[in-house]
Amino acid sequence: TDLFNTEMPFVRYDTGDRGCISRNVCACGLHALRLWIDGRYSAYLTFEGGRFHHYQFTAAFSALMNSVAAYQVVKKGESDLVLRVIPGPLYTAASGEKVVANVQETVGPDINVTLELVEQFSRVPQGKSQIIRDESAHAKTP
């Protein structure tokens, strides 16, 4: 459909897809706005200190889009969180430190946040990778 078709509007229903607009200059030199699609999901992690929605983690990573190609936030225990990061074209050690600091600010000082650089993530049977994973001993789903 097009934007001027009043009988069949462009946006037909809420798909649940989530994304954000990047105003940062692309590594290739492109200055145009870019849309980053995060996918369709609604996930959160629960720690004794609170419940954290995936959007809170997205906010922590948003300023580092050219440094981080992809990420996964993994609960490993009641106070342990691992950030699995696939480095982007502009990744540096300082980028990694900033990611950890941003997430640490989100979850608070009682959660131990560590960074793990990886080349890829495991995928669910449908072929997608999970942004939020609970790999703690008490996880309800694998």
0.75 exceeded by pTM: no
Predicted confidence (pLDDT) per residue in 95-112, tens digit: 999 999 999 999 999 999
Predicted confidence (pLDDT) per residue in 28-66, tens digit: 888 888 877 655 556 788 888 688 888 888 888 888 888
Contacts of 113 by beta carbon, 8 Å cutoff, 6+ apart: 81, 82, 83, 100, 103, 104, 107
